[in-house]
Chain A
């Protein structure tokens, strides 16, 4: 994360509107990564299934999801001032990242940096407030996160562990 911010500062952050496309694409790449791996984490646990030796630790679903959510937060953190120019399709990736971080934080043991994850969740809430100036949906999602409702409609359809609430 520190390295990312340092690079960000070196870059100067003065791109034009194409920056918006880049931000959107990157956020969706992280979101799709989470969409792909997250269900496996729940299904494996629910069925007490463990992967065989081919699956390394870094390819475990929960690790990939956490990394993707944190990548997304790094992008959000770097470009927070530009978020107000983005269309409403960035809302879902932000909510998904927050839900994933919250789930990971809940499952972490003391060895993990829970405080950092908490600050990333707070960043997602802040970003939704910025996007919410234009898009009411973002404001609604932010209020749900503040209430502790880490919901994602997409997971309801596939009967995954669905609504995570405090």
Chain B
């Protein structure tokens, strides 16, 4: 069961939401050390992975034996109240205040659980979990750049966590119709590292066209960094057109609002062009050539269509 849930998490969730710094847990051959995870993080990973349908028959067999996502969700919330001490099983102290004690592991847990609750349509829970994580992240100063010479692993853990939270904050603002909490102008944190050792993840999948097994790099982090850039524009769009006071501002001065609209539109088009260019770059690697690059095809089409209206 554990292996199925890990597989579901790192294939379906992590490739889009690289919240965790995987090199810390990877022990090769697609296996992960479950005992390297803090209990709350582990339950959160299981909680969201349990939502994902198995993609092969072998996994389908274990699906029936997997507890429902709510069991893991509640276990994660309970684990957050447990004092993080060493060794944890000898001094298992539960206290409600531990829930809001700011730690990296607690913040990671809350982000994963917020995403899970969003997927399950529990809007209020998702918003509250995300906002608690945001408060914790600020308290931990994850929004600030780490000094030069700081430990690389610590920096990457903080960076990944912060930027995933930043993106989730914007996604929830759209999906739930709530104001966003985190502002780009308050952030100096470094983007997650795209260095080979940090980004590398070899993925194996079966091609639908001919049933053959293909291998490719995931480009998880470089792709995620593109998402961060898009979310920075989204933040400005939300501020300009979707905030509570935006209608009043637009209607007070339509000419000025039109200038703003075209300016943001220009940034979006430019972002589209950047994406198109970088997509080709994402796929130039000497060791494992991607099978095909639909990114370039699709992006160029989207770009042309957008430019032509």
Contacts and interface: CB of A to CB of B under 8 A. Distances in A.
Interface string A18-61: 11111011101111110111111001100101011011111101
B283 to A, nearest CB: 8
A11 B309 contact: no
A111 interface: no
B226 A134 contact: no
A65 to B, nearest CB: 11
Contacts of A58: 308-309
Interface stretch (A100-108, A114-122, A147-155): A147-155
Interface centre among B15, B226, B257 (most CB of A within 10 A): B15
Contact of A153 (B175, B216, B223, B246): B175
B208 A17 contact: no
B230 A32 contact: yes
Contacts of B302: 26, 29-30, 71, 75
Q: How large is the interface on B (under 10, 10 to 19, 20 to 34, 35 or more residues)?
A: 35 or more
A17 B309 contact: no
Q: How large is the interface on A (under 10, 10 to 19, 20 to 34, 35 or more residues)?
A: 35 or more
Interface string A56-87: 11110101100110110011001001001111
Contacts of A40: 241, 250, 257-258, 261
A15 interface: yes
Given A11-B294, A40-B257, A51-B258, A137 B268 contact: no
Contacts of A155: 177, 242
B264 A134 contact: no
If over half of A's interface residues share one DSSP class (helix, strand or loop), that class is named, otherwise mixed; here it is helix
Interface stretch (B81-89, B132-140, B181-189, B285-293): B285-293
Contact of A7 (B171, B282, B301): B301
B178 A157 contact: yes
A165 B55 CA distance: 36
Given A8-B294, A136-B121, A153-B176, A33 B306 contact: yes
B208 A81 contact: yes
B268 A71 contact: no
A92 to B, nearest CB: 4
A15 B293 contact: yes
Contacts of B243: 157-158
A154 B251 contact: no
Interface of A: 3-4, 7-8, 10-22, 24-26, 28-33, 35-40, 43-44, 47, 49, 51-52, 54-59, 61, 63-64, 67-68, 70-71, 74-75, 78, 81, 84-89, 91-92, 133-137, 140, 152-160
6 contacts: A31-B174, A37-B265, A40-B257, A63-B309, A89-B118, A157-B242
Given A87-B17, A89-B118, 16 more contacts: A12-B291, A12-B292, A13-B209, A18-B217, A25-B227, A26-B298, A36-B261, A36-B264, A36-B265, A37-B265, A39-B250, A71-B302, A86-B16, A87-B12, A89-B16, A133-B53
